[in-house]
Structure 1
Amino acid sequence: MRDLTNRQYYLAFRPDSLPGPEHVPCRDVPVQLPGEGEALLRNIYISLDPAIRGWMSDAHNYIAPIPIGAPVRSTVIGRVIQSNCRSLEEGDVVMAVGGWEQYTTGPAAAMTKLDEHAGIPLSSFLGALGPTGLTALFGLMEVGKPRPGETVLVSAAAGAVGSVVGQIAKMQGCRVVGIAGSEEKCRWIKEDLGFDEAINYKACGDLEAAIRQACPGGVDVYFDNVGGEILDAALLCLNKYARVAVCGWISTYNENGAPGPRNLWQLVAESVTMQGFVVIDYMDRFAEGVDKLAQWLLAGKLQYREEIVDGLDNILPAFLKLFDGSNQGKLIIRIPE
């Protein structure tokens, strides 16, 4: 083990806009052997999520910024290759908070053991059955509070979170309209996922008018993944007592001094509730959420897309796909065993 080399992509300095190779260079360092109560993982999958861009900043966030010089933080799935605790054995597969690296060393108490023989792809525990699916489930049900017959509008609707939100909303008896960035994505959420309508925001021209046309009875729940101009348009289409669940504002993550929403007065005009959330708010209910998502998945009621990119050295170009919308569903790096 002492001869193993760990390739890492680390934060050299904080980006002002899109991160480049100068912000996230790679290095090869000796593997850190596990101390008491720790385990060493050989990473198999690394999750790529928009939130990582926020952690690269030193702005106040729901978890501490990534320290300069540390590997870029990410959720990983890895195989235990050395254990210094009783709860994990060599060969076990676990999910943990790790980094953009080949090997992760950390406390076993913070690792979740996964069953690789359950008939469910391991990668799904980073997506539909992991933080992505749980974000969709709790954000929609606990913040959005949809009721049968209401209209739910979802931005980034073909993305990892938005696509699950729309399907859960349909299960609640809602009319669901998705906003996406291409005709192919719009076809997918309508034809395969069962959305009632889809809006291509890059081709519709007047987005407010497009939302009003797709939602003739107004919007009761808006699940916001993007912020920016899409949020501004959606705010003008809300019904009385509508709920806005703010999951992310990816449209402004790489802009310094980006303008804030212009139409927040609608919160007063229509007595709207707008609430931000993060999935760790519901950590004590994760087991309940995973169980529900797994039931839907195994029953064929929940579909998801993954884009799996092979090779750790492709991690930064793959990550940047999140910000131009070219990814197809949940974005994951795979390091073949």
Structure 2
Amino acid sequence: MTKGEVVSNKQVLLKDYVVGIPKETDMVLSTGIIKLKAPQGSEAVVVKNLYLSCDPYMRSLLQKHDRFRFFPSYTPGSVITGHTVATVVDSNHPNFKEGDLVWGITGWEEYSLITETNFLHKVEHTDVPLSYYTGILGMSGLTAYAGFHEVCSPKEGENVFISAASGAVGQLVGQFAKLMGCYVVGSAGSKEKVDLLKNKFGFDEAFNYKEEDDLDAALRRYFPEGIDIYFENVGGKMLDAVLLNMKINGRIAVCGMISQSNLEKPEGVHNLFCLVSKQIRMEGILVGNWLHLYPKFLDFIVPFIKEGKISYVVDTAEGLDKAPGALIGLFSGRNVGKQVVVVARE
């Protein structure tokens, strides 16, 4: 590979808009070509992609636009995009040079030409795994940090519940809460994940929601005095049960609702009057609104990582051809921890 060379470029394309439960065959592996040279007169950057991030929000982009969307849909026949770690092959941008390691939004392909560089960031700490920039040091980490510390305004000793707690965001929220001296319980969908929450991430308790016939009763068992903070990743029946168990002046940070991802008609929530009767504050999180906190977040998180006070589990799939399956697996709970696809090793 030499700068300016025209090379083949494996890519993952959306075959057609998805209705219902997505399948691997909704995406197709194709091969295009790309010139490894940024166009003259532009501030574009050409990168070689190393790690791809699989994230729940991408499910909504596989279907036609709807009123709940906060990003535009993917276009059938076009390359899937997402958060990526990459190395710069060529650059006309003053902030990036050949050889720089970067993270941001690029295509699901071997090489990408980036003309919109507003979401491209240099990797600042190279003494931690590069894959962390798809998760703990990227959008997942900042989401957990802003959602918990800024939206939830936690206090020492409070009771915290996290659904989908072994995922990319949930595992971090639980550890942040423990660092603050909170009592922390998480729910997950398998014994392996429950054990991970208690034995690796230090949660006080955890339970498998699939083994609970009555979620309200399960929450009353773990929170006899009620929940101060709920970090919402699931929605539906779980949210309904949580509302019944919130304390007065409780806070709910809504990060996602993965149980609703593949439903053509989302489930209703019946206990919303608890927001009034218990004076609960419930607020959604879009990480793009918190990017100004990223330097502060790095100062907070990196020392904990280097001191071994925060753990992070990454579920790795090898090869671009594994990307469709890795993404689809999120919606059946197949992944354990943050799902990452390795395109090339640095």
TM-score above 0.5 = yes
TM-score, normalising length: structure 2: 0.93
Corresponding residue for residue 59 of structure 1: 66
Partner-residue secondary structure (3-state), 1:184: helix
| Aligned positions of 1:1-337 closer than 5 A | 1-31=4-34, 33-35=37-39, 36-57=42-63, 58-60=65-67, 61-107=69-115, 108-115=117-124, 118-337=126-345
- Residues 38-84 of structure 1: CA deviation (Å, up to 9, x unaligned): 11111100000001112223123222222333211101111111222
Deviation at 1:286, TM superposition (A): 1.1
Amino acid at match of 2:153: K
Report the alpha carbon displacement of residue 197 of structure 1 after superposing the two structures with TM: 1.0
Q: Matched residues in 2 for 1:332 and 1:197: separation?
A: 27
Deviation at 1:109, TM superposition (A): 5.0
Q: Is the 8 A contact 1:241 1:270 kept in 2?
A: yes
Q: 2:327 is matched by which residue type in structure 1?
A: F
Write the deviation string for residues 150-176 of structure 1: whole angstroms up to 9, x where unpaired. Answer: 100000011111010001011112111
- Alpha-carbon distance between aligned partners in 2 of 1:229 and 1:42, rounded to the nearest angstrom: 42
CA distance in 2, matches of 1:55, 1:80: 27
The range that moved more, 43-52 or 261-270, is 261-270
Measure the CA separation in 1 of the matches of 2:93 and 2:174: 41
Write the distance in 2 (CA, Å) between the matches of 1:185 and 1:291.
29
Paired residues of 1:178 and 1:199 also in contact (CA < 8 A): yes
**Counterpart amino acid of 2:120?**
M
User: Contact 2:24/2:325 (CA < 8 Å) preserved in 1?
Assistant: no
> How many aligned positions are there?
336
Larger CA deviation: 294-303 vs 61-70: 61-70
Letter in 2 for 1:123: S
Distance between the aligned counterparts of 2:48 and 2:21, measured in 1? Answer: 29
Give me the whole-angstrom Cα distance separating, in 2, the residues matched to 1:86 and 1:238: 50
Consecutive aligned runs of 4 or more in structure 1 exceeding 4 Å deviation: none
Superposed displacement of residue 147, structure 1: 1.1
* Residue identity matched to 1:45: Y
Alpha-carbon distance in structure 2 between the residues aligned to 1:191 and 1:72: 36
Distance in 2, matches of 1:86 and 1:199, equals 50
CA distance in 2, matches of 1:257, 1:109: 35
The question of whether the paired residues in 2 share the 8 Å contact of 1:17 and 1:255 is answered with: yes
Bigger CA drift: 215-224 or 49-58?
Answer: 49-58
Q: Please give the per-residue CA displacement for 1:179-236, whole angstroms capped at 9, x wherever unaligned.
A: 1111221111112211111111011221111111011110011100011111111111
- When the two chains are superposed, the root-mean-square deviation of aligned CA atoms in Å is 1.6
| Letter aligned with residue 55 of structure 2 | D
Distance 2:291 2:124 in 1: 20
CA displacement 1:268-291 (0-9 Å, x = unmatched) = 121111111111110111111122
- 1:42, 1:104 → 2: CA distance? 7
Say if 1:258 and 1:110 are closer, same or farther in 2 by CA, change over 3 A. closer
Q: Counterparts of 2:15 and 2:325 in 1: how far apart (Å)?
A: 17
Deviates more, 1:311-320 or 1:185-194: 185-194
In 2: Cα distance, 1:295 partner to 1:59 partner: 41
- Following the alignment from structure 1 to structure 2, what is the Cα–Cα distance between the partners of residues 86 and 29? 28
Q: Deviations over 1:119-147 (max 9, x none)?
A: 11111111111111111110011111111
AA aligned opposite 1:12: K
Q: Write the letter of the residue equivalent to 2:344.
A: P
**Alpha-carbon separation, structure 2, partners of 1:295 and 1:249:** 31
SS in 2 for 1:234: helix
Q: Give the aligned residue type for 1:59.
A: D
* Distance in 2 separating the partners of 1:72 and 1:167: 32
